Amino acid sequence: MITSKIRTTSQNRPTENRVATLNKSEKRSDQWSQLLISVGETRDRKAFAQLFQHFGPLLKGFAHASRNEGWFPGLGDDLVQEVMIKVWNKAAGYNAEKASATTWIYTVARNCRIDMLRRKSNTQHLPLENEDFWHEPDEETPISLLQQKRSEDRVQASLAQLPKEQDQILRKVYLEGKSHAEASAELGLPLGTVKSRVRLALQKMQLIVSKEAQE
Amino acid sequence: MITSTNHHPDENMLIEFSAGTLDTAASICVSAHLHFCSSCRAKLLRLDQVGSQLMSQAEPVEVTDDALALVMEKIDSGDNAAPKAADFDGDMPFSVNKLIDTSLVNKNWKRLSSSVDVARFKTGQENFEVALHKICAGGKTPKHDHEGLEYTVVLKGSFSDEKAVYREGDFLLRQPGDVHQPMGAQNGECICLSALSAPIKPTSPLGFLMKPWLRINPM
């Protein structure tokens, strides 16, 4: 049996250890992460309603930005519903030391959006959902909420300073959900140009070091 | 947990992975690599932050008045409990575990040659054959070129070719023109996840003897 051949050890995933206490500046730093922690810890419905008010319209906008294969008019409302139910159900596993609520909810939304589009355009049974690609081992080095908020603020500030064409390409990739190949066809640019433009944008934001530094 | 690997997916692959636009077969391989590589996980978090900031800047679209009430109703009806990841083997990437549990074409290894076995997966796409390959200790594979793309992630043990030794977590991309001859390490079997978009191309004149290698079954 393949299963027994490959699995040499069998251990369950360690239960996640979350930060129980946050200092004052951390508490102020990111209200969405705080609300999400409350939903996870005490099933706080008021906190959930606040998250819904903030993220609902953003999620719907995120759905409307992607008119790809499989897109359908009701996608916006469906995505809001599916993502927010997942947020409620998975909130107990949310670890503020790994990602802010905004980033965490983005990853849930991105996976949901792809899976919904795929289900619509694909008749084949798909054994893996996009969600399955994001089960990462626990990080050894926690990042405080404050640090995360700072790095998100930096990302936001540097996004605002990107030249137009770099900003445009990042939006195509992340918001419209276009692959590099699709973006290249749509913009009438060689694939290599799209690839280097995306990399340039992220280098400019100092999110990646020079080209393929690790190779 | 091994947290440093030497061979990584390139930045554009990580970016497409973060944006969710990478195709299924490549995503399976990248997610397997991420399981082993903390530096790529850290990179991915930064890329995900770009996505989250862009989503925050998306043109908000008003939701219907009863949207929250509908969600609460569904939550209260209680059939939404998140499915538990059953039997999670912490040493293997989650996506590989799930494929082994749900999507093996055959439950047993199939012999490709005296030193290599294969186990293929059904992954619901038509561009790549996604499979596990097992090279026995010291096993030689035929020297070959590539007709298409070949992604490989070492899951267990190690192997080498003319260029380097590849260990657990290492991610390799081979393209047409890359000729190599992988060899299993002497000290134990090596298991790799691979995704192939075209059959390999043997460089030996006796290549016709390698029949089982010359066909792939994307599924």
Q: Is the minimum CB–CB distance between B133 and chain A shorter than 8 Å?
A: no
pLDDT average, residue stretch A122-147: 72
pLDDT average, residue stretch A173-179: 93
Q: Angle A101-121/A75-90 helices, nearest 10 degrees?
A: 130
Q: How many residues does chain A have?
A: 215
* Under 8 Å between Cβ of A39 and A86: no
What single-letter amino acid sits at B107? K
pLDDT over 70 percentage in chain A:
76
* Phi, psi (deg, nearest 5) at residue B191: -115, 130
Q: Which two tokens stand for residue B21?
A: 């636009």
Q: What is the 3-state secondary structure (H, E, C) of chain B?
A: CCCCCCCCCCHHHHHHHHHCCCCHHHHHHHHHHHHHCHHHHHHHHHHHHHHHHHHHCCCCCCCCCCHHHHHHHHHHHCCCCCCCCCCCCCCCCHHHHHHHHHCECCCCCEECCCCEEEEEECCCCCCCEEEEEEECCCCECCCEEECCCEEEEEEECCEECCCCEECCCCEEEECCCCCECCEECCCCCEEEEEEECCCEEECCCCHHHHHHHHCCCCC
Residues A14-42 have pLDDT tens digits of 444 444 455 555 555 689 999 999 999 99
pLDDT average, residue stretch A68-84: 86
* Contact flag A140-B38 (C-beta cutoff 8 Å): yes
Please check the confidence at residue A107 and state whether its pLDDT lies above 60. Answer: yes
Q: Which of the listed residues A112, A132, A156 is the one where a domain comes to its end?
A: A156
Residues A187-199 have pLDDT tens digits of 999 999 999 999 9
* Contact flag B12-A199 (C-beta cutoff 8 Å): yes
Euclidean distance between CA atoms A170 and B15, whole angstroms: 10
Better-predicted residue by pLDDT, B167 or A136: B167
pLDDT average, residue stretch B195-218: 77
The confidence score (pLDDT) of residue A69 equals 67
A129 and A197 housed in the same domain: no
The confidence score (pLDDT) of residue A12 equals 40
* Under 8 Å between Cβ of B151 and B25: yes
DSSP state at residue A132: G
pLDDT average, residue stretch A167-185: 94
In a domain, A17, yes or no: no
Q: Which two tokens stand for residue A147?
A: 């640090």
Euclidean distance between CA atoms B185 and B157, whole angstroms: 7
Better-predicted residue by pLDDT, A5 or B49: B49
Better-predicted residue by pLDDT, B116 or B89: B116
A116 and A170 housed in the same domain: no
The confidence score (pLDDT) of residue A183 equals 95
Q: Hey, what domains does chain B have and what are their CATH numbers?
A: 104-214 (2.60.120.10)
> Residue A204 maps to which CATH number?
1.10.10.10
A83 and A165 housed in the same domain: no
Q: Is the minimum CB–CB distance between B164 and chain A shorter than 8 Å?
A: no
Q: Is the minimum CB–CB distance between A208 and chain B shorter than 8 Å?
A: yes
The confidence score (pLDDT) of residue A13 equals 39
Burial of A147 per CB tally in 10 Å (0-12, 13-18, 19+)? middle
A47 and A105 housed in the same domain: yes
Find the range with the poorest average confidence among A99-113, A130-144, B94-108, B163-177: A130-144
A31 and A117 housed in the same domain: yes
A136 and A205 housed in the same domain: no
Are β-strands B165-166 and B116-120 bridged in parallel, bridged antiparallel, or unpaired? unpaired
In a domain, A12, yes or no: no
Residue ranges of B 56-115 with Cβ closer than 8 A to chain A? 56-64, 67-68, 70-72, 74-75, 80-82, 85, 87-95, 98-104, 107-109
Residues of B in contact with A173 (CB under 8 A): 15-16, 19, 21
The confidence score (pLDDT) of residue B2 equals 47
A146 and A184 housed in the same domain: no
A150 and A198 housed in the same domain: no
In a domain, A16, yes or no: no
> Residue A58 maps to which CATH number?
1.10.1740.10
pLDDT average, residue stretch B43-51: 91
Better-predicted residue by pLDDT, B110 or A69: B110
pLDDT average, residue stretch A134-162: 79
In a domain, A18, yes or no: no
In a domain, A4, yes or no: no
pLDDT band at B199 (very low <50, low <70, confident <90, very high): confident
A107 and A123 housed in the same domain: yes
Which is nearest to B33 in space by CA: B126, B138, B172, B128?
A: B172
Task: Tell the residue number behind the tokens 């399955």, with chain if given.
Answer: A132
Q: Which of the listed residues A140, A156, A172 is the one where a domain comes to its end?
A: A156
pLDDT average, residue stretch A113-123: 80
A103 and A166 housed in the same domain: no
- Could you tell me which residues are beta bridge partners of residue B150? B174, B196
Task: Tell the residue number behind the tokens 């996640």, with chain if given.
Answer: A16
Total domain count, chain A: 2
What single-letter amino acid sits at A53? Q
The confidence score (pLDDT) of residue A134 equals 73
| Mean pLDDT rounded to a whole number for chain B | 87
Better-predicted residue by pLDDT, B218 or B186: B186
The confidence score (pLDDT) of residue A208 equals 67
Q: Which are the contacts of A191, defined by CB distance < 8 A and separation ≥ 6?
A: A180, A181, A184
In a domain, A5, yes or no: no
In a domain, A203, yes or no: yes
Which domain does A172 fall in, by range?
161-215
A146 and A172 housed in the same domain: no
Please check the confidence at residue A142 and state whether its pLDDT lies above 90. Answer: no
ipTM for the whole predicted complex goes beyond 0.95: no
Coil/strand/helix, residue A130: helix
* B137-148 as b/e: b if 16+ CB within 10 A: eebebbbbebbb
Which is nearest to A61 in space by CA: B209, B95, B204, B54?
A: B54
Please check the confidence at residue B119 and state whether its pLDDT lies above 90. Answer: yes
Q: Which of the listed residues A156, A189, A206 is the one where a domain comes to its end?
A: A156
Please check the confidence at residue B213 and state whether its pLDDT lies above 80. Answer: no
A85 and A111 housed in the same domain: yes
The confidence score (pLDDT) of residue B120 equals 93
* Contact flag A139-B41 (C-beta cutoff 8 Å): yes
* Contact flag B52-A105 (C-beta cutoff 8 Å): yes
Burial of B17 per CB tally in 10 Å (0-12, 13-18, 19+)? buried
Better-predicted residue by pLDDT, A133 or B141: B141
Please check the confidence at residue B107 and state whether its pLDDT lies above 90. Answer: no
Euclidean distance between CA atoms A56 and B63, whole angstroms: 7
Q: For residue B172, how many other CB atoms are within 10 A of its CB?
A: 24
* Under 8 Å between Cβ of B181 and B139: no
